[in-house]
Amino acid sequence: MSDTPSNKRTELAQLGEFGLIDHLTSDIKPMNSTTLKGVGDDAAVIDQGDYVTLVSKDLLAEGVHFDLSYTPLKHLGYKAAVVNISDICAMNGKTEQLLVGISVSNRFSVEALDELYAGIKLACEKYKVDLVGGDTTSSASGLFISVTVIGRAKKDEVVYRNTARENDLICVSGDLGAAYMGLLLLEREKQVFKANPGMQPDLDGYDYVLERQLKPEARVDILEKLKEAGIKPTAMIDISDGLASEVLHLAKDSGLGCRIFENKLPIDVVTGDVAAEFRIDPTTAAMNGGEDYELLFTVNINDFDKVKEMPGIHVIGHMLEKAEGEYLISNGGSLYPIEAQGFNHMRED
């Protein structure tokens, strides 16, 4: 059977993850007036009067999103829930319900799945989210986890990706690059173990970056701080694929250009030390590492005095008119085009 009526075959790698999404969804038009936002943001937005319902979903596949040789199942369950809760945070909303679907092979025991669900339940308990359903089916190979989250926000408080404005400040929560450094450490120890199963992992002193990789947190606290300060972001996204990828989303969707300052990037000391071990520029880790699940957002320039004093929030750049392009200003003052080099599904190795 041919791939298309014309027998033409386009390889997925030619489009990449985001190109494929655009290709498959570009002609989708909402048919219901209650669908305020469909494809193209961290969550769909459904009209409920003064409030909106926010819905988001992620699929995690063994061997693609996680490696069980170094990822405890309880941590995996926790992370699977949190990364979805983070999507609702990126819309300035609160997650209220969560559904889990798993496809699992018979190499997993009931006790193993108990561990996975213990992590999911722990995340639900911490973030006050109800686990309300899901589905379970068999798998011919490996483990697949599908999580759907449902959130809520006041209609006038929802924040989208495409609403940044010229001269807005670009801000980020927390620090960047740590999760990627944690992943590199785990992969290194995996290779050492494969070469010599008698060797014990050497992970002392790396707790911070390992936790950032294995047990991320959704930045609900940042939303609370912004609200207390009377600041509503003009646009927002969470950092799952790397700062470079996400800031390009904000710029493209808002029809703007941007500048990011290298000397303003928040990088933890441990992240810098591990980057040095792997001979990686910490800026590269911060820009392209991914899986930090921090919030990247823009605010009106008039809020500078407020936001600069807020702990855990860093002003790293500003938005410009589209013709100015998207650039990183290095410590030496040179301009480098921002390119999304983080993990991209469908891309060939």
Write down all domains in the chain, each with its CATH number in brackets: 32-157 (3.30.1330.10), 169-337 (3.90.650.10)
Does residue 299 have a pLDDT over 50? yes
Q: What is the pLDDT of residue 141?
A: 83
Q: DSSP strand E in the chain: where? A: 35-37, 44-48, 51-61, 94-104, 130-138, 143-154, 169-173, 235-238, 256-261, 295-299, 313-321, 326-329, 335-337
CB 155 within 8 A of CB 183: no
Radius of gyration over every alpha carbon of the chain, rounded to an integer in angstroms: 21
The mean predicted confidence, pLDDT, of the chain is: 91
Say how many C-beta atoms besides its own lie within 10 A of residue 280's C-beta: 18
11-32: pLDDT as tens digits: 766 666 656 656 665 666 776 7
DSSP 8-state code for residue 253:
H
Does residue 345 have a pLDDT over 80? no
20-71: pLDDT as tens digits: 656 665 666 776 787 887 777 789 999 999 999 999 999 999 988 999 999 9
> What is the pTM for the complete model shown?
0.89
Tokens of 240: 């799952």
